Amino acid sequence: MPSRGSDELSRLRLLYELGCAFTARTDLDDLIPLVMAKCREVLAAEGAAVLLLDEDGTHLCFPYAAEERAEVAERLRTLRFPATAGIAGAVVQSGRALRVDDVAADPRFYGAIDRDTGLSTRCLLAAPLVARQGVVGVVQVVNRVDGGTFDDADLAFLSALTGSIAIAIENAQLYAKLKSSEEILRAQVGVLRRDRARVDGFPGVLGSSTAMQEVFRLMESAAASPITVLIEGETGTGKELVARCIHDASVRAEAPFVAINCAALPETLLESELFGHRKGAFTGAMQDQRGFFEAANGGTVFLDEIGEMPAVMQVKLLRVLQEGEVVPVGDRRPRHVDVRVISATNRDLAAEVERGTFRSDLFYRLSAFPIRLPPIRDRREDLPILAERFLSAAAGRHGKMIPGFEPEAHARLMAFDWPGNVRELQNELERAVALARPGEPIRVAHLSPKLAGAAAAVSDAPAPDTTALRAARAAFEAGHIAAVLRQYGGNVTRAAVALGLSRFALQKKMKEYSLR
């Protein structure tokens, strides 16, 4: 049988360990049940429970209970009684701990709890939980398992323990309030960002065609939700730009956006790059390294060319999506990550699933919210907007003043199919600006040889004189600007973004074409 001294030493050690645990954690749902179980063990009691006052301070309830019989603990968690009733109520009112050796003989005893749970309380200890704002509850221990009664040393131990529990509960409540306030603020900021995107558009994503308006609608919805997004589209359609815009308009905008091209990394490195590795996990692993998922914690991971991911990595990515955990190479312990995953592909993943080259369960996880980006050939009415914006941007980078396009060069740009889509058009105009002299418009001579095929379609048509070309271009531009203005209800700011112009430039053109 342990000596009194060793018993006191073990209790002091437990108090120290529990105090450290309380100061290190704010999640009480796992910690306090453990404390109650330890309390039962140290005090050789049949049951131990934490009783907390409700928000009004008028009733006590049992959020945490440890009992020999699980069904009793379950019933206790559903009960509440007046904060002035029973021995627990007396402790709340006085703020002092109590030891009652014969509960049945105490006039303060509240027997309704025993009747509702089937308990038979013989003796108990009750100590107040005193926080900065006063008493917030009671810790109660009932019935020694040997049939005896508790002593003053037991009461002193419980009173010492309640100090740590009270601080932990108060910290947890403050943390919960702060977290709730943070979540509310994040939600409000997210709403403001989406409203801004709705008014000003998504920077860099251009177009006023029907196909692009549907893309913008889906982007707004995706930004308002934590749902996993799959962006589909041909090479060069701007999938990463769309992903960044969704991130920037979401509540995660202040956190990192990390983009990974799954096709650019060999299979041997992909796992390490995504999930990290421990020192010595493989040759060359000289130190611990966090992966992209941990680096993006709280933000967004963009997995480009997801269809190129090897089968082994598909299984590991599925675990991350299901469990919210990553396991670094060379480690066994999972690490929690909070990331939103947006992926992109230029493949038909549904067909890949049918062929058995892409996992169906991963596909359904990734494609919860698909966004299909149309190729240029399906939105040719956006070509003038794109060409003007890319020309202006390229001229700025090269430090040149380029007044625009000569009519034939513009016609060839409009006639070309652009199999490389937006990226190909952007690169073409970057090259053209590099070849052009300052103050010189873009001519056919500045365009690449591949646009020569577009010349046939242009040259087959009767060539109007220069005056007619200018008039036709002006008529087209005026009609296009008028259509975009109507689409945005006359909102000059939103129309300017869609057209790829500054607000001032659009107002100037509106005045020129009498569109005010």
Predicted confidence (pLDDT) per residue in 24-42, tens digit: 555 666 667 777 887 888 8
pLDDT (average), residues 351-365: 94
Instruction: List, as one string, the DSSP characters of 67-96.
Output: ESSHHHHHHHTT-EEETTSHHHHHHHHH--
Q: Do 109 and 86 contact (CB within 8 A), yes or no?
A: yes
* DSSP summary character for residue 329: B
Residue 510's pLDDT band, with cuts at 50, 70 and 90, is: confident
Mean pLDDT across the chain, nearest whole number? 83
| Section 318-332 average pLDDT | 87
Report the sign of the C-alpha dihedral through residues 504, 505, 511, 516, in that order: negative
Lowest mean pLDDT among 97-101, 191-195, 408-412, 447-451: 191-195
Q: 3-state SS string over 407-436?
A: HHHHHHHHHCCCCCHHHHHHHHHHHHHHHC
pLDDT at 475: 65
Position 117 scores a pLDDT of 87
Strands 276-277 and 289-290: antiparallel
Q: Are 423 and 235 in contact (CB under 8 A)?
A: yes
Output the pLDDT for position 427.
95
Mean pLDDT of 263-281: 82
The CB-side HSE value for 182 (13 A sphere, CA atoms) comes to 8
**Does pLDDT of 465 surpass 80?**
no
pLDDT greater than 80 at residue 445: yes
pLDDT at 467: 46
* Arithmetic mean of pLDDT, 149-159: 91
* DSSP alpha helix (H) spans, 141-285: 152-200, 210-223, 239-248, 267-275
Q: Which residue has the higher pLDDT, 381 or 284?
A: 381
- 499: tokens are 């057209």
pLDDT of residue 199: 44
Domains of the chain: 4-175 (3.30.450.40), 201-373 (3.40.50.300), 377-512 (1.10.8.60)
Look up residue 292 and give its two tokens: 């992209």
Confidence bin at 188 (pLDDT 50/70/90): low
460 vs 63: which has the higher pLDDT = 63
Kindly report, residue by residue over 405-441, the tens digit of the pLDDT: 999 999 899 989 899 999 999 999 999 999 999 999 9
Global pTM reads 0.56
pLDDT at 267 over 50: yes
The pLDDT of residue 471 is 60
- Position 184 pLDDT exceeds 50: yes
150 close to 48: Cβ distance less than 8 angstroms: no
Residue 289 tokens, joined:
């390294």
The tens digit of pLDDT for each residue in 54-98 reads 878 899 988 877 776 778 778 888 888 999 999 999 999 999 999
